[in-house]
Amino acid sequence: MRDRSAMYGVLLMLLVALMSAADAVVVRMLSGQIHPFVIGFTRTTFGLLAMLPWILRHPHILRTRRVGVHVLRAALKLGSLVALFAALGGAPLASVTAIGFAAPIFVSVGAWVFLAELPRPMRITAAAIGFVGVMVILRPAMEGGAAAVALWLALLSASLTAAIQLILKVIGRTERAETLVAWNLIASVPLALGPALWFWTPPTAAQWGLLAFQGALGALNQGCVTRALQLADASLVAPIDFLRLPLVAVLAYAFFGEVANPATWVGAALIVSAVALMAATTRGVSRPNDVA
């Protein structure tokens, strides 16, 4: 039974990787037509609608004494999503995805600086390798290429994701997982509403379909991640998230004719190696993406 549960957990994480890759494709399809703030608003709104029946049946999950921290986390999450959506619209999908894998490296550095965790020599080495990988991918941005701003936005998104995970390391000790998810969605919708109205352009029926599909993907993705971590050890399922990169590369080529450049693969290999090295020095491994 334990082996079977682990297998189901792995299969769910494979589904998560595929859904995340599809999410990137949907954002690219909408880019240039729908503003990233509008996509952020619709994503959080459809996510909240998907979770609302659960919240109404279990209102106790909203009990918390840290509303302010939840709002701060939601604001950072919204900023991370908007930066990511803008990056996906202006830079190669594989490059943006690879930069996103650097979030766990930023988390480790942030934990050393802000949470007084003692860095181990091996983890310092891993962080250095990871930063080299990021710089390799960012080389076009440093040279002022057409995708320069988008690549820097991808880095901003990864940095904000790391900040969110640092907050989760603190409040996750006292807050339940469903409380974190529910409050993130509840706080995100009003935060996203103002900017979305400012940049609003009426979506077409087809665009509404894509926006709804993306919102459903986000909610399903979140549920699959939670279930996968219940079925199998994090150290087993979390590395499967790295399959997002080849999946994104295949879909980017199929839908947009994009071919990932060698620098993206070299940088991604360095980042993945760095994260794997960090994971090897700990008892567990955290998924590169923030929940909710």
Residue 141: per-residue pLDDT: 64
Q: Which residues of 168-184 are buried (b: 16+ CB within 10 A; e: fewer)?
A: bbebeeebeebbbbbbb
For residues 114 and 165, give the distance between their C-alpha atoms in angstroms, rounded to a whole number. Answer: 12
pTM of the complete model = 0.87
Structural domain contains residue 287: no
DSSP type of residue 31: T
Structural domain contains residue 94: yes
Distance set, CA 88 to CA 155, 168, 179 (Å)? 12, 26, 30
For residues 139 and 155, give the distance between their C-alpha atoms in angstroms, rounded to a whole number. Answer: 12
Answer for the pair 88, 20: CB distance below 8 angstroms, yes or no: no
Structural domain contains residue 16: yes
Distance set, CA 220 to CA 26, 46, 205, 226 (Å)? 15, 11, 22, 10
- Residue 47: which of 18, 12, 23 has the closest Cα? 23
Count the Cβ atoms, other than its own, within 10 Å of residue 250. Answer: 13
Domain count across the chain: 1
Residue 282: per-residue pLDDT: 62
Structural domain contains residue 12: yes
Q: Is 103 exposed, middle or buried (0-12, 13-18, 19+ CB in 10 A)?
A: buried
Six-digit token string for 93 = 């999908």
Structural domain contains residue 217: yes
Domain that holds residue 92: 2-280
Structural domain contains residue 108: yes
148: part of which helix (H) or strand (E)?
helix 148-171
Residue 144: per-residue pLDDT: 67
Structural domain contains residue 290: no
Distance set, CA 181 to CA 39, 86, 233, 260, 277 (Å)? 19, 24, 21, 34, 29
Structural domain contains residue 60: yes
Q: What is the pLDDT along the chain (292 residues), one digit of tens a residue?
A: 567 777 888 888 899 889 999 999 999 999 889 999 999 999 889 888 888 888 899 889 888 888 899 999 999 999 999 999 999 998 899 999 999 988 888 888 888 888 777 778 888 888 899 889 998 888 876 666 667 889 999 999 999 998 988 888 888 778 877 788 888 889 999 999 999 999 999 999 999 999 988 888 877 887 787 677 777 776 677 778 888 899 999 999 999 999 888 889 999 999 988 888 877 776 444 444 554 4
